Every structure is written in C-alpha cells, then in structure tokens.
Amino acid sequence: MQAHLARLCSLCMAQDYQRDIYDFYLLRWAYDDLQREPSQFYWPGADRSNIRDIVLEKCRTWLLDYDTPPRANDAG
C-alpha cells in the first residue's frame, strides 16, 4: 500500500497538486507518519488502527467517482 500511495503522491505533485488526487497525497503522508509515530496530522481521525481502511475506502470512492462505463463503440 505504501508504494502505491507514494506513486499517487508523486503524480499529484507532478500535476501541480491536482485536486482530484490530492487526498492520496495527504493519505500518503498520514500513512507514512503512522508507520513511525503514533499520530499524524494530515488526515483527521486517522490512526494506526484505521489508516488502511481509510485508504481503501478512499480508493473505492475515487474509482466509483471516476469510473466511466465503456462506450458502445469501444473495442474491448
């Protein structure tokens, strides 16, 4: 999970902190802090007991928000 968040974080920075992936930037640093410290200040309410669930839920939500059904003329 950490490697995927790091990639999304890098993409966010490369895209001038693109709004629709900015949450993954914040979650990357929250996750990173919680690997070393008992608390973090990037994502309200996230702690070691729930950070993984928060990341997974954000991923699900993002996929649902940005998943578009294939068009009828798309091959695939």
* pLDDT of 67: 81
Rounded to two decimals, what is the model's pTM? 0.84
Q: Where are the domains of the chain?
A: 2-66
* pLDDT of 51: 98
* pLDDT of 56: 97
For the stretch 2-19, pLDDT in tens is 999 999 999 999 999 999
pLDDT tens for each residue of the chain, 76 residues long: 899 999 999 999 999 999 999 999 999 999 999 999 999 999 999 999 999 999 999 999 999 998 876 666 655 5
What is the distance between the terminal CA atoms of the chain, rounded to a whole angstrom? 29
Of 69, 71, 40, 68, the closest CA to residue 5 belongs to 40
Site of tokens 């999970």: 1
